[in-house]
Amino acid sequence: MTPIKNCIVNKDTTKKPIWLMRQAGRYLPEFREIRKKNLNFIKLCLNENLSSEITLQPIKRFDFDAAIIFSDILMIPFAINQDVKFEKGFGPKLGNLDINEIQKINEEDFTNKLKSVYKAIALTSENNILKNKDLIGFVGAPWTIIVYMVNKMSPKNGLPENFFNDISLLNDLIIIVEKFIKIHIKNQINAGANVIQIFDSWAGLLENKIPDYIYNPTLNIVEYVKKLGVPVICFPRGIRDYKNYCDIVKPDVVNIDYNVDPISIQKGINIPIQGGMDPKTLLTDKENLKKEAKRYLDIFKDHPYIFNLGHGVLPETDPKMVDYLVKMVKDY
């Protein structure tokens, strides 16, 4: 059984598999070479050969226990006909939201628009380098997707005051988005993904209405993935009550963010845990990195644990520090 599935299914505590969010990305010189020649990010995600190559770059370099397909959570708004662009130094910019246009999209249209993503997964899953390793497919959670669709950019400064003005639009959107997330998951699994991660990157922005916009729609998706026979990891970044989230949503694994006390998580949550270490630790020195990584490994010594970060690898990270971390975790 592959390392991550063994940790999840058999609750194995003897080995601590490792992969990192955004492990295929801007900190790698080989990725930057590709990116220099491919300025349109969406087109790059839809280039199955390059997407597969980028996915495998960190596996070749560091021998992680899992690959995560090179793609983006905003491929869903893109596939349901909302314009999506990525601007350097700004991030994603989404176009006007036309609910009538979105409601016209059917499963076939959606799948055709993302067929290159599924081809990339198939191509990657067939590569010998992934023998005895996991290939993770992923989606954004419904709440995070509708935040981008309505806000039309990253809500780095919080939700705008008028965000909840049109509740019927939000409620329609959450139903539509949930439907297409399920289709996207099914297509990724059919193409060869054997683990699914759900990123709720903006879960921490919601102080009330959490059952309506986070618990209930995410639970529907988690139950759907489980029916397809694939383990599901949830990352509700910034949520205040991880235990309550796990009790209600029931993921197979929960990824914790770096603002959470790992000791309270270890004591209060029975399911396998993933992540937690601050990505900024990789910007310090080897001694500090070893100390902090060992802290997480020691806390979760007798708990099923997948080593990861509390957010993605930062672009300014030195690949040598990642190499040191991977070897340290594998030697633990």
Q: pLDDT (tens digit, 9 = 90+) per residue, 125-155?
A: 999 999 999 999 999 999 999 999 999 999 9
Paired with 255 in beta bridges are 274
Determine the structural domain holding residue 100 and report its residue range. 3-331
DSSP state of 211: I
Instruction: Report the pLDDT value the prediction gives residue 181, as an integer from 0 to 100.
Output: 98
Contact present, 308 and 20 (Cβ < 8 Å): yes
Rounded CA-CA distance 129/136 in Å is 14
Report the C-alpha gap between 313 and 308 in whole angstroms: 10
Confidence at residue 195, expressed as pLDDT on a 0 to 100 scale: 98
Closest Cα partner for 291 from 283, 281, 280, 301? 281
Digit-coded pLDDT (tens) for 251-287: 999 999 999 999 999 999 999 999 999 999 999 999 9
Contact 229, 8 (CB under 8 A): no
CATH number of the domain within which 157 lies: 3.20.20.210
How much is the pLDDT for 112? 98
- Cα separation, 130 vs 230, in Å, equals 17
Total domains in the fold of the chain: 1
